[in-house]
Amino acid sequence: MTILSDNEGYGVQSKDYVKKKNPIIKPENIEYDNTYENSIRPKDFDSYIGQGALKESLKVTLEAAKLREKPLDHMLFYGPPGLGKTTIAGVIASQMGVDIRITSAPALERPRDIIGILMSLKGGEILFIDEIHRLNKVAEEILYPAMEDFTLDMTTGKSQTAKTLRVPLPKFTLIGATTKAGELSSPLRDRFGIIHRLEFYTTDELSQVVQRTANILDIKITESGAKAVAMRSRGTPRIANRLVKRVADFAIVKYDGQIDEKVANESLDILKIDEFGLDTTDRALLNLIIEKYDGGPVGIETIAAALSEDVRTIEDVCEPYLLQAGLLQRTPRGRKVSPEGYRHLGIKMPSEQTKLF
């Protein structure tokens, strides 16, 4: 399977920095590894941890498509960022033995962007579009016949002399990913045969993710060290993978190189990631609502402006976990801090607020 991507992350690693514990990294010893994300991404269902229900149903879908010798139905994965939507698409491609083209809706601004990609697809290939809720109307309308009949309807000429040309496309599978399924237009949503929500991971699942990543990156970690990192990872493997690398830095520089429970907890305290996995921004958000707006409700625009963050970051990155952890509540009149949120920050909830819960 080849991954052709225009939105991959990158990593910078020293080849033998960890092994030699050499504090000076010379430029020639730095490896710019732009496939870093790929190296820790699981390639098959066995190494993909969590999302049990999704995996089981996908295994059946894939098997059926293979037996029928038909392309897979178009799929839509939704849920908070970092839960493995791109990763599961990569697993599907690899299990089907087909290539995957990875792009995201903001990169498909002009009609020619989406037309170009569709025309370059080969039979059976997977087209992955991230943030698919951000597709513009024109791109969506090009996609409808492409998804339904594997054709591209192109108009040539102007007004009276305009002609529509139907160009056949190879049978491909579209996998869309979004953090906001509700913002997808219903005609687009209706064209996906499989729609699945990705769930937050349990601490146990995240501990396995942490151990697997540590293994691949040659980081020494104990079981309780992995659990301590997992507990502060907000149910999100992308965060777990980020934290394990940050904690590994502390383990090498300040300790004996191994991540155990103490190393993990002390390092994460220094990084200001608390026992719930909340970072400075999350706590600032809760504090703001409590101190400036009596615990809420307060509108998202007001919160974003006061924190100098954009609304999308608050909605997509901070809120999903705060809501899931029960620290924040969304009401028709805005956001409110829950009794649990007050407790977490060690602030006493005013009695008039308590009555409202």
Catalytic residues: 85-86, 130, 179, 238
The nearest distance, CB 352 to ligand ADE, in angstroms, is 44
The nearer residue to ligand ADE, 11 or 334, going by C-beta atoms, is: 11
- Binders of ligand ADE among residues 193 to 232 (CB under 6 A) are 209, 212
Q: Are the beta carbons of 146 and 118 closer than 8 angstroms?
A: yes
The nearest distance, CB 42 to ligand ADE, in angstroms, is 4
The nearer residue to ligand ADE, 104 or 233, going by C-beta atoms, is: 233
The nearest distance, CB 114 to ligand ADE, in angstroms, is 28
| Phi/psi at 243 (5° precision) | -65, -40
- Binders of ligand ADE among residues 13 to 52 (CB under 6 A) are 40, 42, 48-50
Bond before 80 cis per omega within 30 degrees: no
- Binders of ligand ADE among residues 84 to 123 (CB under 6 A) are 84, 87
Number of residues engaging ligand ADE in binding (CB under 6 A): 11
The nearer residue to ligand ADE, 134 or 227, going by C-beta atoms, is: 227
Query: Which tokens in the block code for residue 93?
Result: 């491609």
The letter for the amino acid at 19 is: K
Nearest residue to 300 (alpha-carbon basis) of 336, 327, 353: 336
Q: Does 277 bind ligand ADE (CB under 6 A)?
A: no
Q: Are the beta carbons of 96 and 88 closer than 8 angstroms?
A: no
Binds ligand ADE (CB under 6 A): choice among 79, 124, 225, 237: 237
Intra-chain end-to-end CA distance of the chain, in Å: 52
CA angle (199 as vertex; 270, 262 as ends), nearest 5? 25
The nearer residue to ligand ADE, 93 or 188, going by C-beta atoms, is: 93
The nearest distance, CB 212 to ligand ADE, in angstroms, is 5
| Phi/psi at 70 (5° precision) | -120, 155
Q: Are the beta carbons of 128 and 89 closer than 8 angstroms?
A: yes
- Binders of ligand ADE among residues 49 to 68 (CB under 6 A) are 49-50
The nearer residue to ligand ADE, 86 or 329, going by C-beta atoms, is: 86
Task: Please name the residues in contact with 60: beta carbons below 8 A apart, sequence gap of 6 or more.
Answer: none
Give the C-alpha separation, 207 to 243, whole Å. 12
Please classify residue 340 by burial: count the beta carbons closer than 10 Å to its beta carbon, then call 0-12 exposed, 13-18 middle and 19+ buried. middle
The nearest distance, CB 258 to ligand ADE, in angstroms, is 21
The nearest distance, CB 71 to ligand ADE, in angstroms, is 25
Q: Counting every residue, how long is the chain?
A: 357
Nearest residue to 81 (alpha-carbon basis) of 37, 128, 133, 131: 131
The nearer residue to ligand ADE, 236 or 265, going by C-beta atoms, is: 236
Contact positions toward ligand ADE, by CB under 6 A? 40, 42, 48-50, 84, 87, 209, 212, 237, 241
